[in-house]
């Protein structure tokens, strides 16, 4: 056995129903005194509630998906103007992304309080969008110093968004099995993450107001992000990145639609990992397990429904082939990827 695995420096606090207390403990541990709180408009009330007792100098609500550069610049200017010494982000991946944009140029520490299952809080990956082109990069400065997970904060996330976001997390797990830096440690995290998401997400759908399923889903989402941060982007993430950028598709829903098709394509190339994933998903094969879960969750089915034009299939496939990660378990040919994207566009059953 030979591999190199890097574990990222970050403290995580799981604190169901106790985000305010956990945040206060974290602020004290880091000895920060001038906090800038970042939260989007639908996350604002949650943020106000859990940061009420803290030394907040500025509250920033100017958040949009994929971090437009102008918004990043305004947020950085606000951090400087208010002389903030730390950023607290309360929200989904878009909000965490804005906090990361601040940290990228200022080096301010982030304490992340996630309210979706996107997982950005556990990765050192940043993204910025300028003139409709999204650039991503990796920088240790943007990795939040600490995360506070409180499943109660996800109770207000609508079921449909919870499902899409949860499948986005599952995609981190699945893609980690064959991503460029896949190793036994991130595979173990990915498989436990997949198991927890398979247990939690159906409960979120059946009992959206109960905290138990949301706890499992959040735990699974954290593990999924750890595995993704360590293993890197595999074929699935490259496809979603291309599609999202070309057709401005919603992030989590695109992952939810594309995942079964990439799994069906790659599974024959990784038989041992496929069997372990099948077990984690509680089924005979991984493809069946994902199909059964998706049907329980009434997951979104097709890229057509998300607004992608059929005329874009070939152009997207060509872009995927030229960006494909090295070492994918099966050859990434134009013919194969065109078929995969077409199937995802039509929403065919990959079984
Ligand atoms: P999002 O952050 O855009 O949230 C989706 C919607 O849900 C928003 O309107 C938001 O305000 C709302 N919302 C969030 N939490 C809520 C709650 N608890 N109750 C009610 N409403 C709530 O979507 P997302 O899927 O979390 O994040 C997507 C973004 O994150 C994309 O830009 C993606 O590229 C990025 N991302 C980055 C990484 C990384 O490692 N850098 C990883 C995953 C995702």
Residues 29-55 have pLDDT tens digits of 999 999 999 999 999 999 999 999 999
What does the alpha-carbon distance between residue 211 and residue 290 come to, in Å, rounded to a whole number? 23
Say how many Å lie between the CA of residue 69 and the centre of ligand 1.
Answer: 17
286 vs 46, 102, 277, 317, CA distance in Å? 37, 40, 6, 24
Measured from the Cα of 164, ligand 1's closest atom is: 25
Provide the pLDDT for residue 132.
73
Q: At what angle do helices 313-323 and 334-346 cross, to 10 degrees?
A: 130
Predicted pLDDT of residue 26? 98
- Ligand 1 atom closest to Cα of residue 228: 40
| pLDDT (tens digit per residue) in 163-199 | 999 999 999 999 999 999 999 999 999 999 999 999 9
Predicted confidence at residue 245, as pLDDT, reads: 84
Residues enclosing ligand 1, CB less than 6 A? 40, 42-43, 65-66, 91-95, 97, 115-116, 118-120, 123, 125, 127, 153-154, 156-157, 161, 165, 168, 251-252
What pTM, to 2 d.p., does this model score? 0.96
Q: Which of 71-85, 121-135, 178-192 has the lowest mean pLDDT?
A: 121-135
As a whole-number percent, the residues of the chain with pLDDT over 90 amount to 95
Distance CA 88, CA 35 (A): 7
Query: What does the pLDDT look like over 1-32, one tens digit per residue?
Result: 999 999 999 999 999 999 999 999 999 999 99
Stretch 251-255: mean pLDDT:
95
pLDDT at 326: 86
Burial of 97 (0-12, 13-18, 19+ CB in 10 A): buried
CA dihedral sign of residues 277, 205, 299, 150: negative
Give the lowest-confidence range in 95-104, 129-138, 189-198, 256-265: 129-138
pLDDT per residue over 26-36, tens digit each?
A: 999 999 999 99
| pLDDT score at 133 | 80
- The Å distance, Cα 275 to ligand 1 centre, comes to 31
The DSSP bridge pattern shows strands 125-130 and 133-138 to be: antiparallel
Distance CA 298, CA 218 (A): 19
Q: What is the DSSP string of 281-304?
A: TTSSSHHHHHHHHHHHHT----TT
State the chain's mean pLDDT as an integer.
96
């Amino acid at each position: 056995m030979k591999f190199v695995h890097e574990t990222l420096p970050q403290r995580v606090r799981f604190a169901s129903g106790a985000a305010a207390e956990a945040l206060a403990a974290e602020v004290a541990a880091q000895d920060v005194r001038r906090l800038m709180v970042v939260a989007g408009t639908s996350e604002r009330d949650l943020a106000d509630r859990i940061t009420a007792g803290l030394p907040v100098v500025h509250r920033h609500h100017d958040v949009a998906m994929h971090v437009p550069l102008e918004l990043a610049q305004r947020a950085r200017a606000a951090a400087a103007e208010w002389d903030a010494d730390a950023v607290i982000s309360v929200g989904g991946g878009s909000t965490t992304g804005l906090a990361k944009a601040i940290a990228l140029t200022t080096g301010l520490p982030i304490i992340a309080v996630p309210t979706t299952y996107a997982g950005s809080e556990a990765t050192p990956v940043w993204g910025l969008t300028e003139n409709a082109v999204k650039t991503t990069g990796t920088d240790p400065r943007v990795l939040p110093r600490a995360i506070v997970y409180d499943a109660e904060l996800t109770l207000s996330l609508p079921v449909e968004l919870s499902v899409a976001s949860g499948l986005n997390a599952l995609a981190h797990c699945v893609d980690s099995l064959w991503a460029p830096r896949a190793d036994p440690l991130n595979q173990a995290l990915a498989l436990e993450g997949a198991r927890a998401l398979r247990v939690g997400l159906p409960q979120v759908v059946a009992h959206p107001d109960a905290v138990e399923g949301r706890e499992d889903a959040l735990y699974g989402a954290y593990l999924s992000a750890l595995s993704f941060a360590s293993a890197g982007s595999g074929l699935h993430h490259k496809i979603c990145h291309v599609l999202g950028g070309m057709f401005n598709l919603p992030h989590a829903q695109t992952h939810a639609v594309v995942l079964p098709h990439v799994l069906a394509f790659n599974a024959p190339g990784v038989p041992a990992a496929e069997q372990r994933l099948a077990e984690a998903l509680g089924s005979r094969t991984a493809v069946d397990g994902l199909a059964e879960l998706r049907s329980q969750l009434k997951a979104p089915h097709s890229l057509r429904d998300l607004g992608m034009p059929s005329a874009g299939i070939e152009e997207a496939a060509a872009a995927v082939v030229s960006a494909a990660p090295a070492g994918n378990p099966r050859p990434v040919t134009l013919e194969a990827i065109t078929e995969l994207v077409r199937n995802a566009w039509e929403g065919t059953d990959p079984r």
